[in-house]
Amino acid sequence: MTGEERELETALRGQLTRPARRLSLDEGTLKNGLGQLVLTLVKLLHELLEKQAIRRMEGNTLSDEEIERLGTALMRQAEEIERLRVEFGLTEEDLNLDLGPLGKLL
């Protein structure tokens, strides 16, 4: 056995005999992280719904009553997203995840 092989074996034995490190999880951090993820997804879906509504309005496939109801529903949804964002202590930027080479989510 070469010196390098002995060093590797010693290092591996040390890894196997060491107790596993525990992940420190703070309940507040977990709640906020989960809230951020869920709220980001809800905001993304809201924006997709808004774009679809605009396409339908521009395509004249909605009646005036449907446009009114859709606008009201989207407005209430946006208000609730904003209320939850504030409740979780998140900024607008917190909901705009960086997807690396793909750019920002929202």
The domain locations on the chain are 45-93
The pLDDT of residue 23 is 47
Please report, in tens digits, the pLDDT of each residue of the chain (106 residues total). Answer: 677 777 767 666 665 555 555 545 566 666 678 888 899 999 999 999 999 999 999 999 999 999 999 999 999 999 999 999 999 899 988 888 777 777 777 7
| Nearest CA-CA partner of 46 in 24, 23, 73, 20 | 73
Q: For 79, list phi and psi in degrees, rounded to 5.
A: -65, -40
pTM: 0.66
pLDDT score for 41: 92
